[in-house]
Amino acid sequence: MNKKPTGGLKIITINRKASFNYFFKDIIEAGIVLKGSEIKSVRSGKINIAESYAIEKNGEIFLVNSHIPIYKQASSLNHNPYSERKLLLNRKEINKLIGKINEDGFSLIPTKIYFKKGNAKVEIAVAKGKKQYDKRHSKKTKDWNREKARYFRKSS
């Protein structure tokens, strides 16, 4: 009995620094426009979004500073690894995001890139940067939870 694939998510990369450096207010899924050599490189799992962010240009949202390395088999038809990539959103979603990033201190940060039903998707978070004391508090609670788990593991 063959079961059809459910078309689940295949996560390519996760921006782990984002949750440490930012508070997330809202999360939105967007498509991304990629060239042929870029999608081949993404499918092989080679992409870095640790220092990337999204901006608004002429009423559209673009992903900036994401690194997709050159696909070696593409020879002369290769892409620029650091080029801006357009995000696919509805006009209503774009206006909502532009309104939120015009508020004080908010920015658009990609949290993960994945494949959903064969299409590349980006999860964008409307985020506000953490202060230094917030980061210390996050680290302190993370360490405490780790110590607590060790204690319970040893006691049982």
| pLDDT tens digits, one per residue of 39-58 | 888 888 888 898 999 999 99
User: Is the model's pTM score more than 0.85?
Assistant: no
Q: How wide is the angle at C-alpha 15 spanned by C-alphas 24 and 18, nearest 5°?
A: 35
Q: How wide is the angle at C-alpha 18 spanned by C-alphas 46 and 25, nearest 5°?
A: 130
Ordered by where they begin, the domains of the chain are: 9-130 (2.40.280.10)
Helix (H, G, I), strand (E, B) or coil at 65: coil
Taking a C-beta distance cutoff of 8 angstroms, is the pair 59, 94 a contact?
A: yes
Q: Does position 1 have pLDDT exceeding 50, yes or no?
A: no
Instruction: Return the higher-pLDDT residue of 77 and 29.
Output: 29
- Give the pLDDT band of residue 64 (cuts 50, 70, 90): very high
Instruction: Retrieve residue 136's tokens.
Output: 């210390």
Q: How far apart are CA 19 and CA 17, in angstroms?
A: 6
End-to-end CA, the chain: 43
Q: Does position 27 have pLDDT exceeding 90, yes or no?
A: yes
Q: Does position 134 have pLDDT exceeding 70, yes or no?
A: yes
Q: Which residue blocks in 1-156 are alpha helix, DSSP H?
A: 16-21, 36-43, 91-101, 132-155
Instruction: Return the higher-pLDDT residue of 1 and 23.
Output: 23
